[in-house]
Structure 1
Amino acid sequence: MTVAECLFRPTTPNTDESTPGSPYTGSIPDLLAVEGNMRYRRSLARQHLKPNEVPVTFTSFPRLGVQGQFTEPYFEPSSAVSSHSLFLPEEITNPHVRFPTLTANIRRRRGSKVAINLPLFIDTKTPRPFIDPSIPWDRNLYPEDPEAKNGAALPDHIYLDAMGFGMGCCCLQLTFQACNVSDARRMYDGLIPIGPILLALTAASPAWRGLLADVDCRWNVIAGSVDDRTEEERGLKPLKNNHFRIPKSRYDSVDLYISNEWTNRPEYNDNHLPYDEKIYDRLRNHGLDDLLSKHVSHLFIRDPLVVFSETIDQDDSTSTDHFENIQSTNWQTLRFKPPPPNSSIGWRVEFRSMEVQMTDFENAAFAVFVVLLSRAILSFNLNFYVPISKVDENMERAQRRDAARLGKFYFRKDVYASVRRSGASSTASSSGCSSPTSDGPRKKEKKMRNCFPPLPLPEDGVLYTHPVEDEYEEMSMNEIINGKGDGFPGLLRLVYDYLDTLDVDPEDTIAIEKYLDLIRRRADGSLQTPATWIRDFVRSHPAYKQDSVVSQEINYDLMVAVDEIERGIRREPDLLPKDYTGGDKDKGDIGL
């Protein structure tokens, strides 16, 4: 294993981003080192905290922005010179000049504060209509203060008004390095439809600003928190000073499939895609293909949010700083990352939709699952394409309360179609569904491959045999993950088929199966999502008054419980498998 250390990067004063010190390889020992490395990082953080402080991996702190104290020490919201928030003090923003500048420039460019309204979870004693008494409706300190009472804050909703509510969230992200640009584009496209599925399956944020929401995920909060579009760009006024009507925030779901393989039908990119035509033409004139040119020129419909004067003059032949300034402030469910100049780093794909889980075991399970699924996509030439508009619809459905158990999602019916039509032979696998791994004995590989042959064209020369509308249907989470009889194998079956191509020790197989069993049980409903567990914890707390309010007492007990669950002191069989041990028995390691 190449990991020699771990890294911590402060994002906001109450959150840290942690990563392995070096990338993992494709070996099975590296795959199984993920949880130990995560736990080591947690143990390391714990050593630097006070006795009454604990490091928790929690998507959104439930009482961020409440009236009264929610930080130590207490700071007045009136100090919010960057955001002008009614709820968050300036001290909640990272003091590095980039972050207050980013916060202020979003507000200035937009022409108002951001306005996020989450539907309130209506309990038996929640006042109706709910007009939030904790909003300082009559504050008159900043020019934007009247916005709340002038319509920005909706009845029966939780109103959030600053970038800190979104960028103060935590998530689980994975970055993959591909062998070449073609493989990177295939992997990027293959994972796009997976984004909303795993958002729902990792749902972990049902409480905001001291209130229970009727949604389970963070996504629309972050999208709204950095939405710098003007009224013209949002379609509220005719275009006059701006160039584009822009359908989405700069933080939102992917807008364009970009693979050049024949499996990427033009009909899949069915959303309106504004792009800078001058940049598009320049890229085309320099040899880039249509889809990649549209991808890049679509990024550049956004203005830069932060520019440092000392970095304005750049040699673009040796520096990508200007590109990264735009690229890094387009936050989507996936990010397509070109190689930096003069570097051995290759083409990368970043998977960004998942919510962070409360334990290292859960986080490792989802990391391992996505890694194995990404290898299956490339190894078997799997086809997950559905129209991009259906992916957007799935993103909205994924955030609904209890979506993993109750929701339906658009998903492709035949994921092997491209394999069969390009001439790959297949027979029935143990799942009863067609599988590319079941065409005879294969030599098992010692590690996960990173380079794959291109997908051959169909043998008969006919690219498409069915209308796009016939290629997908609505499926439950259980069907998508665990399959639906002979009709659809399920993502777990695909992962197991891929594992069958690897030479894995029996002991390692057992360890991997523990992770995959968590995914299986989340999908079939026998284990709860963190969001469901948190909501149930709040509603069953003795101090809860059935009024949707998460009080300081409830929140404190919740944080204690989450820490105890991670350490294995508190057992929660509805959330975690019975054999979960936790961090008290294993402080983790960095694999050396």
Structure 2
Amino acid sequence: MGLLTQGSLLNWEETKKYADHVRKHGIIQFLNIYNKAKDRQNDVLKWGDEVEYMLVVMDHNNHKVRLLLNGSDVLHSLQEKGENTNPNHPTLWRPEYGSYMIEGTPGQPYGGTMSEFNTVEDNMGKRRREASSLLKENQTLCTITAFPRLGCPGFTFPEFDPKPVEEGVSTSLFIPDEAINEHPRFRAFNTHVNHRRGEKVVINVPIFKDKNTPCPFIETFPIDDGEAERAALPDHIYMDSAGFGSGNCCLQVTFQACNMTEARYLYDQLATICPIMMALSAASPFYRGYVSDNDCRWGVISASVDDRTREERGLEPLKHNKYRISKSRYDSIDSYLSSCGEKYNDIELTIDEEINKQLLEAGVDRLVAQHVAHLFIRDPLLVLEETIHQDDENESEHFENIQSTNWQTMRFKPPPPNSDIGWRVEFRPMDVQLTDFENSAYVVFVILLTRVILSYKLNFLIPLSKVDENMKVAQRRNAVLQGMFYFRKDIFNGCNAAVHTCASAQNGLDNDNEEYALMSIDTLFNGKEGVFHGLIPILNCYLENMEVDVETRCTILNYFKLIKKRASGELMTMAQWMREFVANHPEYKQDSVITDKINYDLIVKCDQIANGAARCPELLGDPVNRAK
């Protein structure tokens, strides 16, 4: 969720008064960081993952499963037994938006040796066991992206009623305030998004039309004051709170580059990979007790924190606001940062011209300047009284206030002031997977891909408008098999011929004038003769030229096997598997409804698979169990 600092939060009216102050000093802080770190060189590769978890309680007598609202207690115990006792503890724990959520990371970043890839799954296993050991009977820890009945009556334990009135925090028809983390930042976030927007957020996800789904599908809301009826679209699942997006779980990877130039290059290259990995990690087909026609969470969370006013969304003439803003503050990137990416910046970029001029006059590179000037068209959503006046030379909270609440597919992260941390890049689009094996496979794949991009000087760049089109395709039902994605055909610009030959092992690639073409996920990952080399064959080529111990090599190949088979359709994505489970459930009436019993059986099965009590070869294949 971004920067978490203790202090006295200002209400929205007070926060608005300090928006220009935060922007002004945020830019000064960025310039101080930039000037100190722009020539920084030779930082080593360090990287880490973030896994978000849900706490769940099983009611076996009544065949119900609910979200357990004691994340703060579990988090406190984890921190007291871990980092507060031992600074070198192998895990770190942080709060997340939902009071049923926690976030776990490695205690220390991983390094640049190949053997590090053999420790990721073990560390994830430690996290799962640490947190699970604090739970009571019939309580469990799940890595599922979206709880299928989030927002349905009685979905929490203890059970609370929503407060759809101004006095409540989220004013949701569906989500009680008690489901939001008690940290003031999370609760104020809801109200400030709605206050800035001028109305509650609106989320409409297309419903999956099954045999007995009403046509048109139109909901009524008994306690609605008319707002939901106006906002809800026919044949869509309507949601009305940040909790429906920020209350989902994801998998993220952050890595340190050797310098700023390398970070910008990787930011751009990986931006084109984001929709591809989103489709491959698809794990969230259900919302508010219904089967949707989407497989990923991205559009839901994008709408759930969309604080743009009607003017900024282009629905009314500009009068009180300065800009038309084309996207939510949670969306795909809007500009490439590297010099080689500049010519592919083909979407309109709204920037604060005064900030852009200030940055350019201070010597900031033009592409970085417009990137920051674009981020800073946003208002701060939260301001702490204690942090209004800062030491801009040695602090960066005003910069991070804006930076960390622009939740894009990629995040470009300057070093913190007076820190040994270098320029970093964060990869953000993936749904979290059910097992530690899957999550490790996706993390290792992304990190290895960064190494290959740098080693072979790969070029994945295509017009940014095409990346945006890919983002839309990636979220659709079964996009991993049915979607077609724009991707660059010749990715070996400037790499040597030996690498090209090794990586492709094929001839006759189409050499027409088009730089990119529509490709399937299978082609992108596994390759197709005469069309594309395939990311997995290129990574295998890289590994063959590296010194890798046998155990690590076996681990990586096991991960590649999962990804190859998911891409080809031989194995299911989590979203596909969940859909099939519901479709085959004896209580499912082909009406797109997920009942308490269906949800219970699904989560019980997920828990058994995640903890090794049940096999699921159609989802996982037959991986080597590395749990220790």
TM-score, structure 1 length as denominator?
0.88
Q: AA paired with 2:205?
A: L
Give the match for residue 550 of structure 1: 594
- Which digits, 9 at most, give the CA deviation of each residue in 1:243-280, with x for residues without a partner? 110000000001110012xx3242x1000100001111
Q: Give the secondary structure class of the aligned counterpart of 1:543.
A: coil
CA distance, structure 2, for counterparts of residue 246 and residue 29 of structure 1:
45
* Alpha-carbon distance, 1:31 to partner: 1.3
Give the match for residue 523 of structure 2: 479
| Pair 1:362-2:443 in alignment | no
Q: Is the 8 A contact 2:115 2:549 kept in 1?
A: no
Q: Give the secondary structure class of the aligned counterpart of 2:325.
A: coil
CA distance, structure 1, for counterparts of residue 618 and residue 410 of structure 2:
31
Give the match for residue 107 of structure 1: 194
Q: Is the 8 A contact 1:432 1:486 kept in 2?
A: no
CA distance, structure 2, for counterparts of residue 487 and residue 74 of structure 1:
55
1:323-334 matches, within 5 Å, as: 323-334=399-410
| Pair 1:185-2:264 in alignment | yes
* Alpha-carbon distance, 1:418 to partner: 3.1
| Pair 1:44-2:123 in alignment | no
CA distance, structure 1, for counterparts of residue 218 and residue 164 of structure 2:
25
Give the match for residue 182 of structure 2: 95
CA distance, structure 1, for counterparts of residue 500 and residue 112 of structure 2:
28
Q: AA paired with 1:339?
A: P
| Pair 1:243-2:322 in alignment | yes
Closer, same or farther: CA 508–534 of 1 in aligned 2, 3 Å: same
| Pair 1:429-2:502 in alignment | yes
* Alpha-carbon distance, 1:29 to partner: 2.2
Give the match for residue 342 of structure 1: 418
Closer, same or farther: CA 264–366 of 1 in aligned 2, 3 Å: same
CA distance, structure 1, for counterparts of residue 120 and residue 506 of structure 2:
31
Aligned mate of 2:571, from 516, 520, 527: 527
Q: Is the 8 A contact 2:148 2:289 kept in 1?
A: yes
Aligned mate of 1:353, from 394, 414, 429: 429
| Pair 1:384-2:498 in alignment | no
1:51-450 matches, within 5 Å, as: 51-66=137-152, 68-78=153-163, 81-133=168-220, 135-136=221-222, 138-139=223-224, 145-149=225-229, 151-260=230-339, 263-266=340-343, 268-419=344-495, 428-429=501-502, 431-433=504-506
Give the match for residue 105 of structure 2: 19
Q: AA paired with 1:101?
A: A
Aligned mate of 1:7, from 71, 92, 116: 92
CA distance, structure 2, for counterparts of residue 579 and residue 503 of structure 1:
23
Q: AA paired with 1:389?
A: S
- Which digits, 9 at most, give the CA deviation of each residue in 1:49-73, with x for residues without a partner? 111111010000000001x210001
Q: Is the 8 A contact 1:117 1:159 kept in 2?
A: yes
CA distance, structure 1, for counterparts of residue 494 and residue 202 of structure 2:
44
Q: Give the secondary structure class of the aligned counterpart of 1:87.
A: coil
* Alpha-carbon distance, 1:427 to partner: 5.6
Q: Is the 8 A contact 1:432 1:485 kept in 2?
A: no
Q: Is the 8 A contact 2:305 2:329 kept in 1?
A: yes
- Which digits, 9 at most, give the CA deviation of each residue in 1:314-345, with x for residues without a partner? 11111111000000100000100000010000
Q: Is the 8 A contact 1:58 1:204 kept in 2?
A: yes
Give the match for residue 577 of structure 1: 621
CA distance, structure 2, for counterparts of residue 536 and residue 369 of structure 1:
27
Q: Is the 8 A contact 2:210 2:591 kept in 1?
A: yes
CA distance, structure 1, for counterparts of residue 217 and residue 328 of structure 2:
28
Q: Give the secondary structure class of the aligned counterpart of 1:103.
A: helix
| Range moving further from structure 2, 72-81 or 475-484 | 72-81
* Alpha-carbon distance, 1:433 to partner: 4.2
| Range moving further from structure 2, 275-284 or 26-35 | 26-35
CA distance, structure 2, for counterparts of residue 500 and residue 4 of structure 1:
34
Closer, same or farther: CA 383–10 of 1 in aligned 2, 3 Å: same
Q: AA paired with 1:126?
A: T
TM-score, structure 2 length as denominator?
0.83
* Alpha-carbon distance, 1:568 to partner: 2.0
| Range moving further from structure 2, 28-37 or 269-278 | 28-37
* Alpha-carbon distance, 1:233 to partner: 0.4
Q: Is the 8 A contact 2:487 2:518 kept in 1?
A: yes
Give the match for residue 488 of structure 1: 532
Q: Give the secondary structure class of the aligned counterpart of 1:428.
A: helix
Q: Is the 8 A contact 2:484 2:519 kept in 1?
A: yes
Q: Give the secondary structure class of the aligned counterpart of 1:419.
A: coil
Closer, same or farther: CA 427–276 of 1 in aligned 2, 3 Å: closer
Identity of aligned residues (%): 53
Q: Give the secondary structure class of the aligned counterpart of 2:156.
A: coil
Q: Is the 8 A contact 1:372 1:498 kept in 2?
A: no
Give the match for residue 562 of structure 2: 518
Closer, same or farther: CA 69–503 of 1 in aligned 2, 3 Å: same
CA distance, structure 2, for counterparts of residue 201 and residue 218 of structure 1:
13
Q: Give the secondary structure class of the aligned counterpart of 2:487.
A: strand
Q: Is the 8 A contact 2:527 2:533 kept in 1?
A: yes
Q: Is the 8 A contact 1:433 1:488 kept in 2?
A: no
CA distance, structure 2, for counterparts of residue 380 and residue 255 of structure 1:
26
CA distance, structure 1, for counterparts of residue 501 and residue 162 of structure 2:
63
- Which digits, 9 at most, give the CA deviation of each residue in 1:125-145, with x for residues without a partner? 111211225x33x43xxxxx4
Closer, same or farther: CA 264–579 of 1 in aligned 2, 3 Å: closer
Q: Is the 8 A contact 1:113 1:162 kept in 2?
A: yes
Q: Give the secondary structure class of the aligned counterpart of 2:564.
A: helix
CA distance, structure 2, for counterparts of residue 9 and residue 181 of structure 1:
28
CA distance, structure 2, for counterparts of residue 553 and residue 188 of structure 1:
44
* Alpha-carbon distance, 1:430 to partner: 6.5
Give the match for residue 453 of structure 1: none
CA distance, structure 2, for counterparts of residue 492 and residue 526 of structure 1:
16
Q: Is the 8 A contact 2:492 2:500 kept in 1?
A: no
CA distance, structure 2, for counterparts of residue 206 and residue 530 of structure 1:
9
* Alpha-carbon distance, 1:425 to partner: 5.9
Structure 1: where are the runs of 5+ without partners? 140-144, 435-464
CA distance, structure 1, for counterparts of residue 283 and residue 574 of structure 2:
5
Q: Is the 8 A contact 1:431 1:486 kept in 2?
A: no
| Range moving further from structure 2, 528-537 or 507-516 | 507-516
Q: Is the 8 A contact 1:79 1:90 kept in 2?
A: no
Closer, same or farther: CA 466–239 of 1 in aligned 2, 3 Å: farther
Q: AA paired with 2:569?
A: G
Aligned mate of 2:603, from 559, 576, 581: 559
Closer, same or farther: CA 107–427 of 1 in aligned 2, 3 Å: closer
Structure 2: where are the runs of 5+ without partners? 1-45, 48-87
| Pair 1:30-2:110 in alignment | no
The CA RMSD over aligned residues, in Å, is 1.8
CA distance, structure 2, for counterparts of residue 425 and residue 560 of structure 1:
51
